[in-house]
Amino acid sequence: MTYGFIGLGLIGGSLAKNLKKVDPGCKIMAVSHSKETCRRALEEKIIDVICENTRDPRFSECDILFLCAPAEKNISILPDLSDVIGEGCILTDVGSVKAPIHEAVKKLGLSSRFVGGHPMAGSEKSGLENATDHLFENAYYIITATEDTPPESVEVLRCLTLSLKAIPLILDPGEHDFITAAISHLPHVIAASLVNTVHDLDGKQEHMKTIAAGGFRDITRIASSSPSMWESICVENSSNISRVMDAFLDRMIEARDHMCSSDGGYIHRMFEKSRDYRDSFSFASPGPVKNTFLIYCDVIDESGAIATVATILAVHSISLKNIRIVHNRVYEKGALAIEFYDRKSMKEAVTLLRHHRYSVWENE
């Protein structure tokens, strides 16, 4: 197989590394906005060929061409690629908003060659230097298709994601954008707005900032994400985000009105309903929300990986409250989420696992 890459950042670089790991004999060619990035990728044998630009005729050799640049850039270079890629080439992307690029490929007559992709993986870090060959393991890889998308092309991409040890999920582009608006995009807007509300209401002594922890920290963690990336996402998916936001605002106003009228019954039912639904999620723990002593440990998905980590901790008499595989690496770092009963055990585990050369992050 011959693969092409437009962009070699965290996602593109990780895909290239993963493909080389799965099939060392594959050929990978790439172009990036930074020549230094391509040079480093070639030196590290992540890629085999550096292309000059997006019109490089060598891209015609590709079986699959990945668009891993920012969404607007991916769309803007489609005309260049339409004159270059071969008839049998599958064109795909990794963006988090799908409808705009599907619309763009349709206008250019490329729908029969395009399959949308969105790996639910990532990090707060960016760039090739942070790419890994196992970023997609146990992460959902959403594949989007329309009525013009050849089923055989969807199957090729589905099998490819399975080879990366990802979990493929096939959706309509519009459905994808509405789902991500609710579970990802609006939460970022809410988190940013809540943080800014506290900033604006806090006094000169910053007591709010000083004591903010626990629940506030947990629900606003994603407010630290890239402003540039989220500007793009919010603009591209504005209609879906607005639709979900309207529903959310209705519930906020309703909660405010019942609260101001001292309707304790409504408030109780509201929290009860949300608790029961959230506890039905695979990652949820039963009971009220409380401080969690949680770490994320980056491990390769191979036989015995979880047992090895658990054994290291057990030998040192560190008790685990819960251990689970993370299926969405977009905002949760590492492949394992490990929860402890107390802060002391968590801190000891962090020190111990780092001593054994594991990459570990605390949920703070």
Q: What is the CATH number of the domain that holds 307?
A: 3.30.70.260
Q: Which residue would you say has higher pLDDT here, 222 or 141?
A: 141
Pair 164, 209 in one domain: no
Last residue of a domain, one of 171, 206, 240: 171
> 135 and 92 in one domain?
yes
Q: Which pLDDT band, with edges at 50, 70 and 90, does 300 fall under?
A: confident
Question: Does 286 fall in a domain?
Answer: no
Claim to verify: residue 164 and residue 214 sit in the same structural domain: no
Residues 27 and 154 in one domain: yes
8 Å CB contact between 53 and 31: yes
Q: What's the total number of domains in the chain?
A: 3
Q: For the ranges 42-51, 128-137, 208-217, 284-293, which has the lowest average pLDDT?
A: 284-293
Element housing 120 (H / E): none
Q: Domain for residue 23, yes or no?
A: yes
Q: Of 171, 203, 225, which residue is a domain's last? A: 171
Residue 284 lies in a domain: no
Helix (H) or strand (E) run with residue 227 in it? helix 227-236
CATH of the domain at 74: 3.40.50.720
d(C-alpha 131, C-alpha 219), whole Å: 27
Same domain as 164, residue 30: yes
pLDDT at 98: 96
Give the residue-averaged pLDDT of 20-33: 95
Please, what's the b/e burial string for 53-85 (b: 16 or more CB within 10 A of its CB; e: otherwise)? ebebeebbbbbbbbbbbbbeebbebbeebeebb
Q: Which domain holds residue 183?
A: 176-279
Residue 68, pLDDT > 70, answer yes
What value does the mean pLDDT take over residues 22-38? 94
Q: Kindly give the pairing relationship between strand 320-325 and strand 336-340.
A: antiparallel
Q: 267 with 307, same domain?
A: no
Q: Say yes or no: 33 and 140 in one domain.
A: yes
Q: Which helix (H) or strand (E) holds 39?
A: helix 35-43
Instruction: Annotate 299-360 with DSSP letters as a single string.
Output: ----TTHHHHHHHHHHHTTPPEEEEEE-S-BTTS-SSEEEEESSHHHHHHHHHHHHHTT-EE
Total count of residues recorded for the chain: 364
Instruction: Indicate if 152 and 16 belong to the same structural domain.
Output: yes
Question: Which pLDDT belongs to residue 254?
Answer: 96
> Which contiguous run of DSSP H or E holds residue 157?
helix 151-163
Q: Is 285 within a domain?
A: no
Same domain, 151 and 185: no
Each residue's pLDDT tens digit, 204-220: 999 998 887 656 877 88
Name residue 114's beta-bridge partners.
91
DSSP 3-state percent helix, strand, coil across the chain (nearest 5): 50, 15, 35
Instruction: Provide the CATH number for the domain around residue 240.
Output: 1.10.3660.10
Longest dimension (CA), the chain: 70
**pLDDT value at position 174?**
96
Position 152 in a domain: yes
154 lies in the same domain as 180: no
What is the C-alpha R_g of the chain? 23
Residues 275 and 298 in one domain: no
More confident residue, 138 or 175: 175
Q: What is the pLDDT of residue 315?
A: 93
- Other CB atoms within a 10 A radius of the CB of residue 125 amount to 10
Beta bridge mates, 115: 92
Q: Is residue 287 part of a domain?
A: no
Round to whole Å and give the CA distance between 19 and 28: 9
- Measured CA to CA, the distance from residue 246 to residue 234 in angstroms comes to 15
Q: What element of type H or E holds 11? A: helix 10-22
Domain stops at, among 119, 150, 171: 171
Q: Are residue 156 and residue 15 in the same domain, yes or no? A: yes
- Report residue 230's pLDDT band, with 50, 70 and 90 as the boundaries: confident
Query: Is the confidence at residue 37, as pLDDT, over 70?
Result: yes
Over the stretch 70-88, which tens digit does the pLDDT of each residue have? 888 999 999 999 889 988 9
What pLDDT band is residue 308 in, cutting at 50, 70 and 90? very high
Question: Residue 361's pLDDT band (boundaries 50, 70, 90)?
Answer: confident
Determine how many CB atoms are found less than 10 A away from the CB of residue 250.
10
* Residue 128 belongs to a domain: yes
Token pair of 65, please? 């061409």
Across the range 191-209, mean pLDDT stands at 92
Mean pLDDT of the chain: 89
Helix (H) or strand (E) holding 293: strand 293-298
Comparing 67-81, 143-157, 178-192, 276-290, the range with the smallest average pLDDT is 276-290
